[in-house]
Amino acid sequence: MKFQLAINLERMNDCADMRAVRDHTLEMVQMAEQGGFDIVWAAEHHALEMTIAPNPFQILTWWAEHTDTIRLGTAVATAAYWHPIGLAGEAAFLDLISDGRLEFGIGSGAYQREFDRMQPGLKQSDAWQHMQEMLPAIRALWQGDYAHDGQFWKFPASTSCPKPLQNEVPVWVAARSPITYDYAMREKCHVLSWPLTRPFSEAEL
């Protein structure tokens, strides 16, 4: 059995000292590594007092500097808030500086409140379309030159710089509806899901 840890620099209230949250977070990551945990995950959230996590790649780069073996996962990069070239490069750079420890998690996003601020006019329930357009583009950019002409993004032939160190980066898709489970299976991805909010039977094949 493998154990993983999701840490989002949570604050129980807005009076919590952010430096204390920072220090406690790193202690937990290092304890997880010492305890043999497989992966530690960092989220992406914006304008939420409860969570200090505006960029999962910054968080994971910090953890990478203070760890040696535990793998580093984004849970998740919110597709609609990124450009494919930027996201591909950020993820690949993390893989480079961590000596190939990246677990790439991508998702549609969780809260309408965040979409109202980051992508005004976009419904959270429609954001799966951004994710499904984004992921193939990311994988193609990691491989080499790729031009994209999609519904949400268009760009001429480009490539990710740097490239990931891993020949095949493990990819995880955040899912909480059948359409996304199906997409993850078609794309040969792992699935990220919150077991306490949905019955396990929903994810069974």
pLDDT in tens, 44-92: 999 998 889 999 999 999 999 999 999 999 999 999 999 999 999 999 9
- Per-residue pLDDT at 125: 94
Candidates 47, 46, 40; CA nearest to 26 is 40
| AA letter at 171 | V
Domains located in the chain, CATH noted: 4-203 (3.20.20.30)
Q: Mean pLDDT in the chain?
A: 94
Q: Give the pLDDT score at 204.
A: 63
Pairwise CA distance, residues 188 & 186, whole Å: 5
Contacts of 178 by beta carbon, 8 Å cutoff, 6+ apart? 202
- With helix as H, strand as E and coil as C, how does the chain read? CCCEEECCCECCCCCCCHHHHHHHHHHHHHHHHHCCCCEEEECCCCCCCCECCCCHHHHHHHHHHCCCCCEEEECCEEHHHCCHHHHHHHHHHHHHHCCCCEEEEEECCCCHHHHHHHCCCCCHHHCHHHHHHHHHHHHHHHHCCEEEECCCCEEEEECCCCCCCCCCCCEEEECCCHHHHHHHHHCCCEEECCCCCCCHHHHCC
* Strand partners of residue 105: 172
Q: How do residues 101-160 score in pLDDT, each as one tens digit?
A: 999 999 999 899 999 999 999 999 999 999 999 999 999 999 999 999 999 999 999 999
* Digit-coded pLDDT (tens) for 9-36: 888 888 889 999 999 999 999 999 999 9
Tokens 């994810």 sit on residue = 203
Asked if residues 103 and 64 have their Cβ atoms less than 8 Å apart, the reply is no
